[in-house]
Amino acid sequence: MAKIGVFDSGIGGLSVVRAIKKEMPGHRIIFKNDAEHVPYGTRSIEEIYGFTKPIIRQLVDEGCDVIVIACNTVTTNLISRLREDFDAPFIGMEPMVKPAAEASLSGIIAVCATPRTLQSKRYDWLKQKFAPGVNVLEPDCSDWMLMIESNKLDREKIAKTIGEVCEAGADQIVLGCTHFHWIEELIKQAADGRAKVLQPETPVITQLNSVLQQLGRAL
């Protein structure tokens, strides 16, 4: 049995915990978030780093064999820095630009993510590397995270945003924030078959299993 740490700024990471438990039930999962400072998506990188580092330290000190950064904002801006700070395997979550671009028939995809993720150098690299000829739409989802954290969804507003990217030709919609996994069905309903919705829980679990095998901790 391995001890798996999962970190997110808020409740979004619980969807990742649920997915890991379903596929890898024999392992122990330690979940930590930062309810005091959520959301991260509009904060400065240094603020986010200051909040994140001590929580990761707790996971390391509690003996986690591997740590999943279930936060696109932290992954795209800080995972390299965290790898330098801590001698522990990290698995990050970042927008699935590559598979979306490869699957798109229209040449138009949409990425739903926080402002800080969309402004990151890593996200820009993902677009340049894997979607050079693709039109990447980036709808304003800046208030979705707070809606989900507070359980006060504006379903009509979310549906309108998704409808607009579909009408603009997007046939792939990337969920670039783990909070958005909680409203995946709502987003699929709004897309109404016009676009496929992508989120990275399955590939993260595949990567997690690979890391545990390398560590000799797979079941």
Coil, strand or helix: which one is 117?
Answer: helix
Neighbour-count burial for 195-206, b at 16+ CB within 10 Å, e otherwise = bbbbbbbeebbe
Given the structure tokens 């798996």, which residue do they identify? 4
Q: From the candidates 64, 71, 112, 166, which is the catalytic residue?
A: 71
Q: Is 112 one of the catalytic residues?
A: no
Distance from C-alpha of 216 to C-alpha of 170, rounded to nearest angstrom: 42
Distance from C-alpha of 174 to C-alpha of 188, rounded to nearest angstrom: 11
Find the angle CA(185)-CA(188)-CA(193) to the nearest 5 degrees: 145
Q: Is 71 one of the catalytic residues?
A: yes
Count the Cβ atoms, other than its own, within 10 Å of residue 63: 11
Q: Single out the residue of 133, 136, 153, 134 nearest to residue 144, CA to CA.
A: 153
Helix H or strand E encompassing 136: strand 135-137
DSSP class of residue 18 equals H
Count the Cβ atoms, other than its own, within 10 Å of residue 174: 30
Q: From the candidates 64, 141, 166, 177, which is the catalytic residue?
A: 177
Q: Is the Cβ–Cβ distance between 68 and 88 less than 8 Å?
A: no
Catalytic residues: 71, 177
